[in-house]
Structure 1
Amino acid sequence: MWRRFGFIRQLKLNLVKFIRLRGSPDEIAKGVALGIFIGMTPTFGLQMPIAIFFAFLLKENKLAAALGVWITNPVTAPIIYGLQYESGRLLLDLPRARLPELTFESLKAMGGEVLLPLCLGSLIFGIACGALAYALTLRAVPLFKAWKIPRWPRPRGLHIHRRKGD
């Protein structure tokens, strides 16, 4: 049965890992907030090493920071980066960038049109989402730690008996 629900099982396992994080709720919340802030930056592919590096420097929970980075993943990144670009573009009052033919020179010239609004938008989203994540995680960690998660049901008929010493 559990093989049919691999995605749900993976979510449950990640929740169990999150619950078992060591540290005070404040330390875990700061790590998650840092990870989400870094996850909102346009450094896709380098976010996890950056988050762990800054968590090490700031003496925050490294695993919580690494988990927070996953706010941007291949599914959510286009949506998040699109919203950040549009927010930054509107704040800077810039026209929407047109995609020319893909040559190195055209991409280099377009960098300021795309990168500046994206960085501004990511800074705004990073601060807002990091603060929200800190507040929510700070309140959720004590609840999660008190929550007893039942074991995943085993398939019927496959009872494995273990002996001492095996």
Structure 2
Amino acid sequence: MNFKRRMRYMYIKMKRMKDNPRRLARGLALGVFLNFLPTFGTGFFIALIVARFVRANVVLACTASLATKWCIPILYAINLKVGQTVLGMPSETLTTLWTKVAELDLSGLLSLGKPFILGSVLNSLVVSYLSYFVFISIFMVLKRMPLKN
């Protein structure tokens, strides 16, 4: 399937979703939110439960949670950098982090816990908030556009 055809297919699938645009956007934002947090492989199940609780689209919450799993190492590195910046800590280089892991320097790794958690909370709040408003705009526009054959 070529790119143009794939985009059209995705457009039609999104257009045919019968749920409220707010619920759809809430589901996507929830899935994105959970990927910044260290859920240790349970993000899909957390998305499933929380989506029902906050009245979000369960399918989109789980899909967004699974679709962005590939970028978790990048997100976790960003979490650490943001946390270190907010706390005013010196930024660890990737080589230094790898050395701590290789040498099993637990005290050095544990010192990164606070900036990592702070960064993951801040990043998840900011990115999910932004993604909610971006996707609610997209879904509202899609609902108004006629579906062409």
The TM-score by the shorter chain falls in which range?
0.7 to 0.9
**Amino acid in the other structure paired with 2:34:** I
Q: Which is helix-richer, 1 or 2?
A: 2
The 1:65/1:111 distance shift into structure 2, 3 A limit, reads same
1:122 to 116, 120, 123: 120
Hey, what does 1:159 align to over in structure 2? Answer: none
Hey, what does 2:87 align to over in structure 1? Answer: 92
The 1:67/1:11 distance shift into structure 2, 3 A limit, reads farther
The 1:140/1:121 distance shift into structure 2, 3 A limit, reads same
The 1:79/1:11 distance shift into structure 2, 3 A limit, reads farther
CA distance in 2, matches of 1:43, 1:30: 19
Checking the alignment, whether the CA contact within 8 Å between 1:39 and 1:71 is kept in structure 2 is no
Unaligned runs of 5+ residues in structure 2 are: none
Identity across matched positions, percent: 24
Checking the alignment, whether the CA contact within 8 Å between 2:25 and 2:136 is kept in structure 1 is yes
Hey, what does 2:34 align to over in structure 1? Answer: 38
Checking the alignment, whether the CA contact within 8 Å between 1:34 and 1:55 is kept in structure 2 is yes
Checking the alignment, whether the CA contact within 8 Å between 1:32 and 1:133 is kept in structure 2 is yes
- After TM superposition, the score normalised by the length of structure 1 is 0.69
CA distance in 1, matches of 2:120, 2:5: 32
Which has the larger Rg? 1
In the TM superposition, residue 78 of structure 1 has moved relative to its aligned partner by 2.8
**RMSD of aligned C-alpha atoms?**
2.7
CA distance in 1, matches of 2:126, 2:67: 13
